[in-house]
Amino acid sequence: MTRSLVARTGTGLLILLYGLPFVWLVATSLKSDTEIFSATGLIFEPTIAAYQTVVNSDLLHACVNSAIIAAGTTLLTLVLATPAAYALARVKGLLVNVGLGSLILLQITPQPATLIPLYRVLGGWNLLGTQLGVVLADTALLLPFCVLIIRPFFLSVPQEVEEAGVVDGASRWRVFWQIVLPITLNGIATGATIIFFIAWGEFLYAITFLSDPAQYPISVLIAGQIGMYGIRWSNMMAIAVVASLPILAIYAFTHRLLRDGLALGSVR
Amino acid sequence: MRTTVGAGVGWAPAVSRRSLRLRPRGVGLYLLPAALFLAVLALYPFIELIHMSVSQVSSDNIFGDWPFIGTAGVQAVAVTADFREAAVNSLIYVGLVVGVGLGGGLAAALVLWRGGPLSGFTLALMVFSWALPGLINGVDWRFLLDPRGMVDTILSVARVPPIYWLVEGRLPLVSVALVNAWTVVPFATLVFRAALLDMPGEVLAAAEVDGARPRQTLRYIVLPLLRPTILVLTILSLLYAFKSFDFIYIMTFGGPGTASTTLPFLSYRLAFEIYKFSDGAAVAVITLGLIILMALVYLRSVHREERA
């Protein structure tokens, strides 16, 4: 009896703690500038004026840029990370320790520390100011993380499954492609979802390596305006809501995957 | 490697089970694309960072030659007041993110453990805030903590005068750390929840039959069983919190002044505000040294878990 009371109170508290900030975000985006100043909380007359101001061709263009950068990063990261994660789940000994050790080392490097060296590398390849350059930088940032997320899924594939394939005369590549990958699709989808989300919100590389505003993703619009004095909060919140929508849409389909996949990836 | 049948990527059908499992050569090729990519775009920048930290680099010679100065730069920067303040700030920040993140995660996992009509929804709601980029959470909370925002509006109902969360004294650092912890809690909840669901039901049932109260079960059975999970989560969130950057960038930009500047952010400010590139690199290298120490502890603990 008391346990269920504690559980109910706790659940209610969690819903408030995690729901209210988003309710407030949306509410603020629906306020007029005067109502923001008069501190009316959640009781106000909604207006879509902020959306009418911020949703224009520039913002939609920025969303397309974000989609290009995030999708490109996700694709490239998966292509590189999936075979690597498989190898690190199948080989034993020094190679694995060195491999995992370097991945963790790269994973824990603070992102700003890589800005200047990456600037030089991308500059040498004439990729500064291009979205391809940002995709390469983002991939370098997220590849170690992706391998670490996906590897446990390969570890959980029973060796016997692969041995059966080999005995049947399939090549190693076919075993990987036709037997192992279909079993581990959940893990790969988990990795893809997380990489896409992070790449969608990445702003430091984009703001540093891009120079033409026409190429900016939506994250740079937000990060670029946040430091300015006299932020128009209703407009800012409207942009934040627009930037969250694609994530919400994907999350609606993948949240069960994330719920189960994340725990697997981190406990191992 | 006793048999040389099927050298390279191809696999002969008649290989023994043992050699099948231990064949690094073919599988090693699967590592190659990622390894090459990371060597150029991650390892090389990493080495350049270390190179920069032992050189004299400013805006004058960033594209020229870097005179070697050894560890003098690292030593000089480590004794500055800015560095000491940032180190203390980092400790506070990491302590709050890890403590509140894990404590909150454990509490939430226990609350949601037994299921119930709303627990699935609650979990999905929480994990959404983890899934949102720090950029968006940071912008949201920057307004929520504004004197006109959610927190002060709610407090005003209790007649509490407005608090300037992102301006006054140590409050900015604490506020940003708590917001960061707010996004760590859902992740910790997921991991704790998985561990709780894995728990042997018989043991818990036996405790109940023996008349253990919920608090006793928690203290003497559940918490000891969660030990390995707590350990791994602690190190993971420690590593994460130590390098955390975007919440500070978005919510306070290290300010007011240097009040919320942590080590990674100090490194950024040194390099990109006053163009002392080698000082920035030196701070980054020291920070990394500290993180590597913790990573070694992590590897050891994982190793032990995998063997157990």
Which residues of chain A have a CB within 8 Å of the CB of B214?
2-3
Among A195-199, B144-148, B288-292, the range scoring the smallest mean pLDDT is: B288-292
Q: How close, in Å, is residue B10 to chain A by CA atoms?
A: 6
pLDDT grade for B1, boundaries at 50, 70 and 90: very low
pLDDT classification of A173: cutoffs 50, 70, 90:
confident
Closest Cα in chain A, distance from residue B57 (Å): 11
Residue A261's pLDDT band (cuts 50, 70, 90): confident
Q: For residue A38, report the phi and psi dihedrals to the nearest 5 degrees.
A: -85, 10
* Residue A52 burial (C-beta neighbours within 10 Å; 0-12, 13-18, 19+): exposed
Nearest by CB to A20, from B150, B194, B250: name it.
B150
| Digit-coded pLDDT (tens) for A113-155 | 898 889 888 998 999 999 999 999 999 999 999 998 899 899 8
Looking at the predicted structure, is the pLDDT value of residue B8 above 60? Answer: no
CB contact under 8 A, A267 and B194: yes
Residue B4 has pLDDT above 50, yes or no: no
Instruction: Indicate the pTM of the whole model.
Output: 0.89
Tell me which residue in A14, A110, A172 faces B245 most closely, judged by beta carbons. Answer: A110
Range among A113-117, A177-181, B125-129 rated most confident: B125-129
Q: Find out whether B106 and B188 touch, Cβ atoms under 8 Å.
A: yes
Looking at the partner chain, which of A7, A24, A108 has a beta carbon nearest the beta carbon of B150?
A: A24
CB contact under 8 A, B292 and A105: yes
pLDDT at B299 exceeding the cut of 70: no
**Cβ distance of B13 and A166 shorter than 8 Å:** yes
Q: Find chain B residues with C-beta within 8 A of A169's C-beta.
A: 13
Tell me which chain A residues have a C-beta less than 8 angstroms from the C-beta of B13.
166-169
Strand partners, B68: B55
> Mean of the pLDDT values across residues A82-97?
87
Task: Judge whether residue B307 has pLDDT over 70.
Answer: no
Q: How large is the ipTM?
A: 0.90
Query: Taking CB atoms and an 8 Å cutoff, what residues of chain B touch A39?
Result: 148, 153, 156
For position A211, what pLDDT does the model report? Answer: 92
User: Sorting pLDDT into bands at 50, 70 and 90, what band is A40?
Assistant: low
At residue B276, the pLDDT reads: 87
User: The dihedral of CA B209, B212, B214, B219: what is its sign?
Assistant: negative
Tokens of B136: 């968006």
pLDDT of residue B308: 60
Of the candidate ranges A91-105, A186-200, B57-71, the one whose mean pLDDT is the lowest: B57-71
B230, B102 in Cβ contact below 8 A?
yes
| A147 contacts in chain B (CB < 8 Å) | 34
Cβ separation of A267 and B195 shorter than 8 Å?
yes
Confidence at residue A106, expressed as pLDDT on a 0 to 100 scale: 87
Interchain CB distance below 8 Å, B116 and A11: yes
Q: What is the mean pLDDT of residues B41-59?
A: 88
